[in-house]
């Protein structure tokens, strides 16, 4: 897959304290370090979402058209390489890492889409990345056959929920409330559907942007469209405090009403057949 690169520069100096840099990366969750005669590679794997990126130190410069850049800034042969199809939520996380590196080591940054080397500016780099990704998708429409395209707000909410899932589960453990994982599904038309499992008589959190609830009632599994269930349930649910808009929970005080609605309501039969889809195949 094509990569987006951010190159690190320093004003009037090429000096990097390699030991300090290695110590810094060793403190970052998700980083593993490889090195040989060719390069030093700080490999990043997002610990909950699985997205990858790599910070590299190379023997020679890999900056394109370096001769046209302001000569007072010197290339450090150090750059971040990240897949162009990285979602916005993860991109922002990686840019925060870049920001902290530039602040810690007094670096500047450069990308081919910029006119020159500049101090780290989050809004500028996010805009550049977005433009590059959009152009790449337009030039390679066949790629979309392997991916499901979502709006940035929707995918960011979905990924944030997954990123914070363990913390949410810990928060609700004492409240005897189930915090489900998403199920990503593709129907026969290759349309994406997002669902969760929910067992009867169980207090449960409802993540944002659900299409279906797989409701287990005794030995029966009902596939319930959320567009039918939520209007009936919503007034009996509470917002999850301090969390993503649209994330709801069944509280104890209205649980009996919620369970009664789910047991007695005849929802539409869902005629789709589903196959599992991967979160890694969702792009914005």
Q: What is the DSSP letter of 182?
A: P
pLDDT at 196: 96
d(CA 278, CA 71) in angstroms, rounded, equals 46
16 within 8 A of 76, measured Cβ to Cβ: yes
d(CA 281, CA 135) in angstroms, rounded, equals 19
Lowest mean pLDDT across 126-140, 253-267, 270-284: 270-284
Residue-range definition of the domain harbouring residue 56: 3-146
- Asked whether the predicted pLDDT for residue 271 surpasses 80, the reply is no
Residues 115 and 183 both lie in one domain: no
Q: Are strands 177-178 and 212-217 parallel, antiparallel or unpaired?
A: unpaired
Distance of CA 35 to the CA centre of its chain: 28
Output the CA angle 50-54-60, nearest 5 degrees: 165
Residues 99 and 160 both lie in one domain: no
- Pick from 130, 146, 162: which residue ends a domain? 146
d(CA 74, CA 9) in angstroms, rounded, equals 5
Distance of CA 113 to the CA centre of its chain: 24
- The enclosing H or E element of 130 equals helix 122-139
Residues 189 and 134 both lie in one domain: no
Residues 105 and 127 both lie in one domain: yes
- SS3 at position 18: helix
Residues 167 and 137 both lie in one domain: no
Give 207-236 pLDDT, tens digit per residue. Answer: 999 999 999 988 888 899 999 999 999 999
Residues 190 and 74 both lie in one domain: no
Residues 137 and 7 both lie in one domain: yes
Domain count within the chain: 2
Residues 121 and 171 both lie in one domain: no
Q: Report the pLDDT averaged over residues 49-70.
A: 93
Residues 76 and 171 both lie in one domain: no
**Mean pLDDT of the chain, nearest integer:** 92
- Pick from 146, 167, 190: which residue ends a domain? 146
Global pTM reads: 0.91
Give 243-260 pLDDT, tens digit per residue. Answer: 888 899 999 999 999 999
Residues 139 and 159 both lie in one domain: no
Residues 167 and 276 both lie in one domain: yes
Residues 99 and 156 both lie in one domain: no
- Pick from 115, 146, 177: which residue ends a domain? 146
- Asked whether the predicted pLDDT for residue 274 surpasses 80, the reply is yes
Find tokens 């810094």 and name the residue.
Answer: 24
């Amino acid at each position: 897959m094509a990569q987006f690169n951010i190159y690190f520069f320093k004003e009037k100096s090429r000096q990097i304290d390699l030991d300090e840099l290695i110590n810094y990366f060793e403190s970052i969750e998700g980083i593993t370090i490889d090195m040989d005669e060719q390069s030093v590679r700080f490999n990043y794997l997002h610990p909950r979402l699985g997205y990858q990126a790599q910070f590299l130190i190379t023997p020679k410069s890999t900056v394109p058209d370096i001769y046209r850049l302001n000569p007072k800034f010197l290339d450090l042969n150090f750059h971040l390489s990240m897949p162009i199809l990285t979602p916005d939520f993860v991109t922002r996380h990686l840019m925060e890492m870049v920001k902290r590196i530039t602040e810690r080591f007094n670096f500047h940054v450069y990308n081919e889409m910029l006119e020159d080397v500049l101090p780290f500016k989050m809004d500028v780099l996010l805009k550049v990345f977005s433009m590059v990704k959009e152009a790449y998708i337009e030039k390679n429409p066949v790629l979309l056959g392997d991916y499901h395209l979502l709006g940035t707000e929707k995918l960011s909410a979905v990924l944030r929920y997954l990123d914070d899932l363990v913390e949410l589960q810990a928060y609700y453990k004492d409240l005897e409330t189930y915090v489900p994982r998403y199920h990503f599904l593709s129907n026969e038309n290759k349309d994406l559907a997002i669902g969760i499992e929910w067992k009867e008589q169980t207090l449960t959190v409802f993540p944002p942007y659900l299409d279906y609830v797989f409701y287990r009632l005794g030995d029966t599994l009902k596939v319930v469209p959320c567009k039918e269930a939520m209007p009936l349930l919503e007034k009996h649910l509470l917002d999850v405090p301090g969390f993503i808009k649209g994330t709801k929970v069944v509280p104890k005080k209205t649980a009996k009403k919620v369970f009664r609605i789910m047991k007695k309501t005849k929802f539409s039969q869902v005629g789709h057949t589903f196959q599992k889809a991967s979160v890694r195949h969702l792009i914005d």
